[in-house]
Homo-oligomer: A and B are copies of this chain.
Amino acid sequence: MAVNAPAIVLVEPQLGENIGAAARAMRNFGLSDLRLVAPRDGWPNPRAEPMASGATDILATARLYTDLPSAVADLNHVLATTARARELAKPTLSPRAAAQRLRGAGERNATAGILFGRERTGLDNEEMLQSEALIYIPTNPSFSSLNLAQAVLLLGYEWWLAGAADPAEDWPDELATGATHADRARLADHLVTELDAVNFFRPASKRAASVAKLRNLLFRVELSSNEVRMLRGVVHALATGEPGERQES
């Protein structure tokens, strides 16, 4: 589905567990090209698979390289994650801005990769300067250490979102439009009538204010037509002590 999804390039990852968890995070967000540069404990690493939770195909097709230049040789665009501000003459992108850049590259059929450094020390300057831009994941400055797989997860998530059609808000059909104003007005009138019938609004001097509050509530909250109908049934039942006609759900 994804055209030219970026490669995830782990530079000298130390723990097999993190490689497995990174593969799982990749799979969550439609990435599949995993590249390992000189993993500390060799490759394959049996500790990776349990953490991959089923994303074992990504581990199986991961490619192993002895150095960074060969791992990224075929890529058009290389971005490098960093945990701190650098002195390099490169722009630093947010994950979101990076994701947009990567999507743009993919749409042009360009290939791209994201570099992630060692768990303890990250990427060194020599590795960073082989990128066209840095990516800095904003975190709480007093507790900024992210697990390797978490960093992969956040970049994957942003990449996925940058290309996804997922709406920011998705309303169920019945709520997407919701009850009409007239539905609500009838409900409010019905309710007030029944409450007046039991002398609910006392003292009379405060009735107007109380009715206004109640109406405000009924006009403010999100209600479907069905829910308004149900509430009218509730009001009727409470007021009359009779169940009324059968409610449709």
A143's partner among B54, B157, B172 (CB-CB below 8 A) is: B54
Do the beta carbons of B146 and A28 come within 8 Å of each other? yes
A89's partner among B27, B94, B169, B227 (CB-CB below 8 A) is: B227
Please count how many residues in chain A sit with their CB below 8 Å of the partner chain's CB atoms. Answer: 48
Chain B residues with CB under 8 A of A199: none
A233 adjacent to chain B (CB < 8 Å): no
Do the beta carbons of A29 and B90 come within 8 Å of each other? no
Do the beta carbons of B174 and A89 come within 8 Å of each other? yes
Inter-chain CA distance A87–B167, complex, in Å, is: 17
Chain B residues with CB under 8 A of A138: 160-161, 164, 166
**Residue of chain B at shortest CB distance from A134:** B170
- Interface flags, A106-145, vs B, CB<8A=1, else 0: 0000000000000000000000000000001011100111
Knowing A139-B160, A143-B55 touch, does A175 contact B28 (C-beta < 8 A)?
no
Inter-chain CA distance A227–B168, complex, in Å, is: 43
Inter-chain CA distance A62–B87, complex, in Å, is: 40
Chain B residues with CB under 8 A of A168: 93-94, 96-97
Residues of A70-97 at the interface with B, using a CB-CB cut-off of 8 Å, are 87-94, 96-97
List the number of copies, as a whole number. 2
Q: Could you list which residues of chain A lie within 8 angstroms of chain B, going by C-beta atoms?
A: 24-25, 27-30, 53-55, 87-94, 96-97, 136, 138-140, 143-147, 150, 153-154, 157, 160-161, 164, 166-172, 174-175, 222, 224, 226-227
Inter-chain CA distance A172–B85, complex, in Å, is: 9
Nearest-neighbour CB distance to chain B for A231, whole angstroms, equals 13
Do the beta carbons of A89 and B175 come within 8 Å of each other? yes
Knowing A153-B153, A154-B157 touch, does A27 contact B140 (C-beta < 8 A)?
yes
Inter-chain CA distance A196–B174, complex, in Å, is: 73
**Residue of chain B at shortest CB distance from A178:** B89
Do the beta carbons of A139 and B28 come within 8 Å of each other? yes
Knowing A25-B150, A28-B139, A154-B157 touch, does A172 contact B224 (C-beta < 8 A)?
no
Do the beta carbons of B153 and A140 come within 8 Å of each other? no
Knowing A150-B150, A161-B138 touch, does A91 contact B29 (C-beta < 8 A)?
no
Chain B residues with CB under 8 A of A146: 28
Q: What are 5 residue pairs bridging A and B, where the CB atoms are less than 8 Å apart in the complex?
A: A28-B144, A91-B170, A153-B153, A154-B154, A157-B157
A27's partner among B55, B93, B143, B160 (CB-CB below 8 A) is: B143
Inter-chain CA distance A165–B92, complex, in Å, is: 14
